[in-house]
Structure 1
């Protein structure tokens, strides 16, 4: 004979609402979209814009980590000068802007401005 208390507990627990599962899956997809896919698409668009606007004189870094300055563009090939007299051909899509250089120079300029401000205060 079965204990009626177990039957009551089994019925009380019941099955989860299937709509709740769908809402949870939808929420996970939405979170994945905002955390992974959206920033990746934004970065890809920025790289496409950079490659299409690449011109002579731009400082770039290659996918392999070589820094240089673009000398000329010939279709899908960019001629990059790595050092005086050393020119290398790169696929335009494998070049990236030197974003870190701009950030570093801004921080160096900010530190220099703070030091200069400190010197003027000491001189007064």
Structure 2
């Protein structure tokens, strides 16, 4: 539209555009918000709720992994702080906030060995060089 046409419509009180276009825009944004809610926001809230439940269920004697990846055993809880015992000698006790506990799980301390085939291939490559 040119400037004179816009000025003439403004003087005459006519509004260009299809009737009901405002309702269409509102409906369009409403549908977009609903889609975003079900794809992004709702699953995140479910995950956060599960994490909150896990952190609130921490009790004395549980093996936990902190958000830094350090494993320890809970020896005491005071309000929102857990006293966690770290290390194999059980002498290091550090207070950790409950919301910094990433998981309740025991560390896997088993020694894993390579397959014999992989070791043989590595030794053959070393001999060839």
TM-score range, shorter chain: 0.5 to 0.7
Report SS of the residue matched to 2:42: helix
**Does 2:105 match 1:96?**
no
1:80-119 alignment runs, 5 A limit:
80-84=84-88, 85=90, 86-98=92-104
Q: TM-score, normalised by structure 1?
A: 0.59
Q: Using the alignment, how far apart are the partners of 2:61 and 2:39 within structure 1?
A: 35
How does the TM-score come out when normalised to structure 2?
A: 0.57
Alignment partners' CA distance in 2, 1:80 and 1:35: 37
After the TM superposition, which segments of 4 or more aligned residues of structure 1 sit over 4 Å from their partners? Answer: none
- The corresponding residue for 2:63 is 59
Q: Which has the larger Rg?
A: 2
CA distance in 1, matches of 2:38, 2:24: 21
Secondary structure of the residue aligned to 2:36 is: helix
More helix by share: 1
Higher relative contact order (CA 8 A, sep 6+): 2
Cα distance, 1:96 vs. partner? 2.1
